[in-house]
């Protein structure tokens, strides 16, 4: 009997987890049962993915950069990557602004609901405001300072320091390029083997993916806020989801126009990474799976995927940028503010730059949103208005972030002549241990 495709297993796990969570909410002690005995398995699954994120970047990026054999190729590829990422981010923010100005979801928030939301989430709002204040105080060039670690061991201990790890890996790879081949070979062989071990660990972790997402979705349902608050924010959520869907369609169009890969094939092969992104709300945690899907299933050669995808997981946050644009204008509308064209252009610029500074972890977009609100003169207390639905929307925008990374890697690979024919798998057996 043929095995069920991985993305179907994950989807079934998600649906069963959501149903189980809804059932447990109706029983006395059900919430505690899920929190104490189910949620930990979801946390273990996320931790396992995060565990290999830094080793994967070190192994794959060092191998990929050193294989280029020419620093000029590296700078050329890097320039293309950054330019495409910036372009897609600006498009995402623009789509968000067009939708939120057309739908005007903030007009549906009445004074009573606004007061309830601000009161219920005041403590969480203050936490993000404090983090944003620290970010602003560091100065305009702090992002460049933070990119260069003073201790690679310390940088590798935190997934939020991914950009520092990427900097070290690229720097190390350049060093290997400049060495004579006979001296560099033992080190390159080590990292090639090291990378293969990490990929095999991903195979093993993915065997538990359906169970991990079951636990994550069950916990999310039982911990969700009051349903009345969700109803009040329905138009805002709809606006964000429409925008994110349009970005997915835009990616499919770009892939088809520039690589000839049909949208159905592209979405089918990247779907396991998308579903994991939805479950974990973390581009960093999903990175190992994204890299494997793009390389082994979409035909992107490893020297491109190992370079473009880790950078994308750090600086390419199209879904987050779109959400920040919609959220900022939504909050302004809820407070009766009429933002000028200039103020909205400022949102485009700030959201684009803020997305580069967003860590690839759940909730990081909230910190960056405070900066966007401050720049536009929108009351920061309005952050509380979107807390009730932020978690499920965070899951959706992470899907867009991951899809954008995969799209850009295919475009860069095509421009470099490093894109092979995608391997279409009707029945996905990639994650069998003996693969």
pLDDT in tens, 275-304: 999 988 888 788 889 998 999 899 999 888
pTM score above 0.85: no
Residue with the two structure tokens 């169009």: 253
What pLDDT, on the 0 to 100 scale, is given for residue 121? 55
The answer on pLDDT for 327 being more than 50 is yes
Higher pLDDT residue, 362 or 34?
34
pLDDT value of position 206: 79
User: Which of the residue ranges 54-58, 239-243, 259-263, 328-332 would you say has the lowest mean pLDDT?
Assistant: 54-58
pLDDT value at 377 more than 90 = no
Distances (CA, A) of 1 to 4, 6, 9, 11, 53: 9, 15, 15, 20, 34
Collapsing DSSP to helix, strand or coil, 300 comes out as: strand
The answer for residues whose C-beta is within 8 angstroms of residue 381's C-beta and 6 or more apart is 118, 122, 125
pLDDT score of 357 more than 70? no
What is the rounded CA–CA span in Å between residue 313 and residue 283? 6
Instruction: Tell me what the mean pLDDT of segment 174-183 comes to.
Output: 88
pLDDT at site 24: 92
pLDDT in tens, 214-267: 988 888 778 765 454 455 577 888 999 999 999 999 999 999 999 999 999 999
- Answer for the pair 102, 330: CB distance below 8 angstroms, yes or no: no
Mean model confidence pLDDT for the chain:
80
Ordered structural domains, the chain, with CATH: 6-415 (1.10.3860.10)
What's the pLDDT score for residue 429?
42
In this structure, how many other beta carbons lie within 10 angstroms of the beta carbon of residue 28?
7
CA distance 364 to 358: 6
pLDDT more than 70, % of the chain: 78
What is the reported pLDDT for 228?
46
Give the least confident one: 137-146, 237-246, 276-285, 322-331.
Answer: 137-146
Residue 139's pLDDT is 65
- Burial class of 434 by CB neighbour count within 10 A (0 to 12, 13 to 18, 19+): exposed
How close are the terminal C-alpha atoms of the chain, in Å? 17
CB atoms within 10 A of CB 2: 7
pLDDT digits (tens, 9 = 90+) for 22-37: 899 888 888 899 989 9
Q: What φ, ψ does residue 109 adopt, rounded to 5°? A: -90, 115
Choice between 16 and 356, residue whose per-residue pLDDT is larger = 16
The three-state secondary structure class of 419 is strand
Q: What is the pLDDT of residues 157-167, one digit of tens each?
A: 876 677 788 78
Region 196-214: mean pLDDT is: 84
Determine how many CB atoms are found less than 10 A away from the CB of residue 9. Answer: 21
């Amino acid at each position: 009997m043929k095995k069920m495709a991985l993305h179907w297993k994950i989807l079934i796990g998600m649906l069963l987890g959501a149903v189980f969570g809804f059932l447990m909410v109706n029983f006395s002690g059900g919430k505690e049962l899920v929190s104490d005995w189910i949620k930990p398995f979801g946390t273990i699954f996320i931790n396992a993915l995060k565990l290999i994120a830094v080793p994967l970047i070190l192994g794959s990026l060092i191998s990929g950069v050193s294989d280029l054999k020419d620093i000029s190729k590296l700078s050329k590829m890097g320039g293309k990557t950054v330019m495409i990422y910036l372009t897609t981010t600006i498009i995402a923010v623009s789509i968000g602004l067009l939708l939120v100005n057309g739908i005007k979801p903030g007009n549906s928030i009445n004074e009573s609901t606004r007061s309830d939301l601000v009161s219920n989430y005041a403590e969480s709002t203050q936490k993000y405001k404090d983090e944003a204040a620290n970010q602003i105080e560091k100065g305009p060039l702090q992002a460049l300072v933070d990119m260069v670690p003073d201790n690679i061991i310390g940088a590798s201990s935190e997934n939020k320091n991914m950009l520092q790890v990427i900097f070290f890996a690229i720097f190390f790879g350049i060093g290997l390029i400049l060495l004579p081949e006979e001296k560099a070979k033992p080190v390159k062989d080590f990292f090639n083997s090291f990378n293969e071990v990490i990929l095999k660990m991903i195979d093993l972790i993915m065997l538990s993916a359906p169970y991990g997402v079951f636990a994550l979705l069950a916990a999310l349902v039982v911990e969700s806020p009051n349903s009345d608050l969700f109803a009040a924010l329905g138009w805002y959520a709809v606006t964000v989801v429409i925008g994110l869907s349009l970005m997915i369609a835009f990616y499919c169009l770009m892939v088809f126009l520039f690589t000839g890969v049909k949208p159905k094939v592209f979405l089918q092969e990247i779907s396991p990474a998308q579903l994991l992104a939805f479950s974990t709300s973390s581009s960093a945690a999903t990175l190992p799976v994204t890299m494997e899907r793009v390389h082994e299933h979409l035909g992107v050669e490893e020297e491109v995927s190992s370079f473009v995808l880790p950078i994308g997981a750090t600086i390419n946050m199209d879904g987050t940028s779109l959400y920040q644009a919609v959220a900022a204008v939504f909050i302004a509308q809820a407070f009766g503010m009429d933002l000028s064209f200039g103020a909205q252009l400022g949102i485009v610029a700030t959201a684009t730059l803020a997305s580069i500074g967003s860590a690839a972890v759940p909730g990081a977009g909230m910190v960056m949103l405070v900066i966007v609100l401050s720049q536009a003169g929108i009351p920061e207390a309005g952050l509380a208005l979107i807390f009730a639905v932020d978690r499920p929307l965070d899951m959706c925008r992470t899907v867009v972030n991951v899809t954008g990374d995969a799209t850009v890697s295919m475009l860069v690979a095509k421009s470099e002549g490093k894109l092979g024919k995608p391997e279409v798998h009707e029945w996905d057996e990639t994650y069998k241990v003996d693969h």
